[in-house]
Amino acid sequence: MLQIAAIREHKDDFVKALKKRNIDAAPLLEKAIAMDEKRRSLQTQLDETLAKSNLLSKEIGNLFKSGKAEEANNLKAQTGELKEKSKDLSEQLNNAVEGLQSVLYLIPNIPQESVPAGNSDEDNEVVSQHGTIPTLVGNAQPHWELAKKYDIIDFELGNKITGAGFPVYKRKGARLQRALINYFLDKNTAAGYEEMQVPHLVNEESGYGTGQLPDKEGQMYHVGIDDLYLIPTAEVPITNLYRGDLLEQKDLPIAMTGYTPCFRREAGSYGAHVRGLNRLHQFDKVEILRIEHPDQSDSALDAMVVHVKGILEELELPYRILRLCGGDLGFTSTLTYDFEVYSTAQEKWLEVSSVSNFKTFQANRLKLRYRNGDNGTELAHTLNGSALALPRILASILENFQEEDHINIPKVLIPYCGFDRID
């Protein structure tokens, strides 16, 4: 969430920057400023009314002490009126604060200067490409056919017990899934990320804290009777561990990792491009997150990108890195790098990770600050990335490592799997 003081000071700059997202933010920003002016006016009126009431109360007390009860009782009527006025002003102020908050929740983060302009994922900038795309056997198959051939993932069984988008992993498919999770966690903890195991349901305040709420696209599963939400990513519960905290500067940076299942309704998703593991309603993901001093968040983002690169290179998967354009940038992000691996059997690039810097956007929602020496307190910066999302990594391994009668396992995963091939 943008800070209202920054909006007042940089409104024209923000309008220009948000055009990269293909939105005209001027009406929302002007509305926020007008509502803040109303809020400040009401706050001033309330403060003056309370101050006047306090002065009268002291005067009444002094009059009673001086034996001037009649004068004191006459003033009591005025204090009653002031109390009613302060109550009314307090209600108006609360409504103004809530109204301002609602408007601020609708304004996305400001893209960094390096974010390219563009309308969709077709306009994302390819930063670099790595690895060699393998040459497959003539009868190479996509992963959903391989899953059926080797009986390692059952999409129909998942549809039977839950619905489309909830696959069942079986035998070596389940073991490969578990191997990937353990491998990712080991890589992350070796790099200094502290492992966290967190709930898979969060309350509304947590959803607002990291920017998943208000849920404009209807992507979150809501458990209405308990007013809880199934998490779309571990980013939500792990980042919210520090909601409302005041950190010491010496405690920064804070680096965390965690494995969770993720739940997304993916409303409106259909067609061949979402077949098999390409898009699911439930999937596994290992996340890395950082809470950083503002001076260090840019370099921290670069380090996270290098970390994810190292994992993909050990998995021997061809990949590329993209800088997302304004039209494809997530609501809360100021800069995002996507990683895509190449699926040779499908002849397409598949997104497997997003690494993002949110700067103060989430921290302002979370009220996450750090003590900055003699300069008081400041908002921290938050970052997160996938290291990694499993479905498309698994799909790419199955497709890129397939032979005519078996599927090889990347060397780095063999100790985790306990086998070197699927046949």
What spatial distance separates the first Cα and last Cα of the chain, rounded to whole Å?
A: 51
In the numeric block, which tokens belong to residue 239?
Answer: 């980042």
Q: Confirm or deny that 217 is annotated as ligand binding.
A: no
Which position has the token pair 């933010």? 25
Q: Confirm or deny that 353 is annotated as ligand binding.
A: yes
Q: Confirm or deny that 125 is annotated as ligand binding.
A: no
DSSP label at residue 92? H
Nearest-angstrom CA–CA distance, 395 and 142: 8
Phi, psi of 302 (to 5 degrees): -60, -40
Nearest-angstrom CA–CA distance, 330 and 336: 8
Q: Confirm or deny that 351 is annotated as ligand binding.
A: yes
Nearest-angstrom CA–CA distance, 201 and 302: 31
Q: Confirm or deny that 378 is annotated as ligand binding.
A: no
Which position has the token pair 């002003």? 89
* CA separation, residue 272 to residues 51, 142, 145, 218 (Å): 67, 12, 14, 22
Q: Confirm or deny that 233 is annotated as ligand binding.
A: yes
CB 357 within 8 Å of CB 298: yes
Strands 369-371 and 194-195 turn out to be unpaired
- State which H helix or E strand residue 91 sits in: helix 69-104
Q: Confirm or deny that 120 is annotated as ligand binding.
A: no
* CA separation, residue 100 to residues 28, 37, 358 (Å): 10, 10, 21
Q: Confirm or deny that 264 is annotated as ligand binding.
A: yes
Nearest-angstrom CA–CA distance, 309 and 305: 6
Handedness of CA 275, 167, 331, 305 (dihedral sign): negative
Q: Confirm or deny that 269 is annotated as ligand binding.
A: no
Strands 194-195 and 254-263 turn out to be parallel
Q: Which residues are annotated as a binding site for ATP?
A: 264-266, 351-354
Q: Which residues are annotated as a binding site?
A: 233, 264-266, 287, 351-354, 384
Q: Which residues are annotated as a binding site for L-serine?
A: 233, 264, 287, 384
